């Protein structure tokens, strides 16, 4: 397997590099790709230095799989060029997610839809991945009617510049701003750009991507996405109403038995998910599992995950692993 990482110098790209090593991904050659600014610089992988190359140079080398995390415009322009030469692209940007001809994949939920013909595969948004991971097993059993979600999102989801903004502000240093306001000691209800309906694009991703991944356009979703000064992961307060009633013990067991989910829910000893626990881990953590007594068949959950791992790099690598295992590349 010849693998290219497009955006290898970025936050998600560097976690992909780490994961390929950690998970012993079957690899014959690794191509590290970034913008012209970085071409010729070196990155370390498995103790050896690798030179960064440009996208056209990577295309010349015809990789089997290209893992993209270099923004939507790069992806729109270059993913089809890789696809044309037979490379399978797994793309982290939002460029292809809602394209009807492209699959939007969380391996634990819908990787079985993938075929050899899928040359551009979309990786969902980080906030969506952790939400559907927790909700998919419950949807199967109880059928979701409506979701109300509020997010508390890490600055790492915005990229290097945002992490630096927070670090500078903590140190009282001046620097470039990734957000329109200080993020230190603040909460900004503005993730991604605003759409005409008054919601942000991030909030609408939670609506549209959830319906696509769970393959059910009747699920009603409403979201508020908030950026907070944390770096280890995204948190979500999820209120979900089902068609059918549930009992809490079965909900807990269903979640505990789902691969990729860890239930952290022991109120006697203050155990609940937090970004400081999720940071650096691949699982989605679920806790504060409780019935919403204000209306029938409704449940509250608190869901936390490392947005650079399961929310981005881990999910991408898992899709690549699935393709390799099932001989789809
Ligand atoms: P570079 O470091 O050369 O700018 P992040 O989202 O964490 O800021 O990372 C973005 C990643 O996408 C970086 O690796 C960046 O490379 C890469 N990138 C940005 N624009 C392009 C481009 N036009 N072609 C290739 N890679 C790009």
50 is catalytic: no
For domain 2-123+312-325, is the CATH number 2.40.240.20?
Answer: no
- Distance from residue 106's CA to the centre of ligand 1 (Å): 24
Q: Where in the chain is the domain with CATH 3.40.50.720?
A: 2-123+312-325
d(C-alpha 246, C-alpha 139), whole Å: 11
Nearest atom, ligand 1, residue 77 CA: 23
Domain with CATH 3.30.360.10 in the chain: 127-307
Paired sense of beta strands 298-305 and 234-242, if any: antiparallel
8 Å CB contact between 311 and 129: yes
- Closest protein CA for atom 7 of ligand 1: 10
Phi and psi torsions of 209, nearest 5°:
-70, -35
Q: Tell me what pLDDT residue 254 has.
A: 98
Tokens of 315: 């999910």
Q: Considering the candidates 50, 126, 139, 191, report the single residue annotated as catalytic.
A: 126
Query: Which pLDDT score is estimated for 143?
Result: 98
Q: Could you tell me which CATH number the domain at 127-307 has? A: 3.30.360.10
SS3 78: helix
Q: How far is the CA of 34 from the centre of ligand 1 (A)?
A: 5
User: Residue with the nearest Cα to atom 14 of ligand 1?
Assistant: 7
Residue nearest to atom 22 of ligand 1 (CA): 35
Task: Tell me what pLDDT residue 39 has.
Answer: 97
Residue 42 to residue 298: CA distance in whole angstroms: 52
When pLDDT is cut at 50, 70 and 90, the band that residue 180 belongs to is very high
The pLDDT score that the predictor gives to residue 77 is: 98
Judge contact between 63 and 40, C-beta under 8 A: no
Q: Among this protein's residues, is 190 annotated catalytic?
A: no
pTM, two decimals, is 0.97
For residue 11 and ligand 1, the question of a CB distance below 6 A is answered with: yes
Question: Residue 292: what pLDDT?
Answer: 98
Whole-number pLDDT of residue 321: 98
CB 157 near ligand 1, within 6 Å: no
Secondary element (H or E) of residue 299: strand 298-305
Question: Which residue is catalytic, options 50, 139, 191, 234?
Answer: 234
Residue 76 Cβ contacting ligand 1 at under 6 Å: no
SS3 track for 202-247: HHHHHHHHHHHHCCCCCCEEEEEEEECCCCCCEEEEEEEEECCCCC
């Amino acid at each position: 397997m010849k693998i290219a990482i497009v955006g290898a110098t970025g936050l998600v790209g560097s976690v992909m590099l780490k994961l390929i090593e950690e998970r012993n991904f079957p690899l014959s050659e690794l191509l590290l790709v970034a913008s012209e600014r970085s071409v010729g610089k070196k990155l370390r992988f498995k103790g050896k230095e690798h030179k960064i190359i440009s996208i056209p140079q990577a295309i010349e080398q015809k990789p089997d799989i290209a893992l993209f995390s270099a923004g939507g415009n790069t992806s729109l322009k270059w993913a089809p060029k890789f696809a044309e030469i037979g490379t399978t692209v797994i793309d982290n940007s939002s460029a292809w997610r809602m394209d009807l001809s492209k699959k939007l994949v969380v391996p634990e939920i819908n990787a079985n839809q993938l075929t050899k013909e899928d040359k551009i595969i979309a990786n969902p948004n980080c906030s969506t991945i952790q939400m559907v991971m927790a909700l998919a097993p419950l949807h199967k059993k109880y059928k979701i009617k409506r979701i109300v979600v509020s997010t508390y999102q890490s600055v790492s989801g915005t990229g290097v510049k945002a992490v630096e903004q927070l670090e500078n502000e903590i140190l009282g240093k001046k620097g470039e701003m990734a957000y329109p306001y200080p993020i230190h000691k603040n909460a900004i209800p503005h993730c991604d750009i605003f759409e005409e309906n008054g919601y942000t694009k991030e909030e609408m991703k939670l609506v549209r991507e959830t319906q696509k991944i769970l393959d059910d356009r009747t699920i009603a979703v409403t979201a508020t996405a908030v950026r907070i000064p944390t770096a280890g992961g995204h948190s979500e307060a999820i209120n979900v109403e089902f068609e059918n009633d549930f009992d809490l013990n079965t909900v807990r067991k269903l979640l505990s038995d789902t691969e990729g989910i860890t239930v952290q829910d022991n109120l006697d000893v203050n155990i609940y998910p937090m970004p400081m626990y999720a940071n650096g881990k691949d699982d989605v953590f679920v806790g504060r599992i409780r019935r919403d007594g204000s209306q029938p068949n409704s449940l509250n959950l608190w869901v936390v995950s490392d947005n650079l791992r399961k929310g981005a790099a881990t999910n991408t690598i898992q899709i690549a692993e699935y393709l390799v295992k099932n001989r789809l590349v």
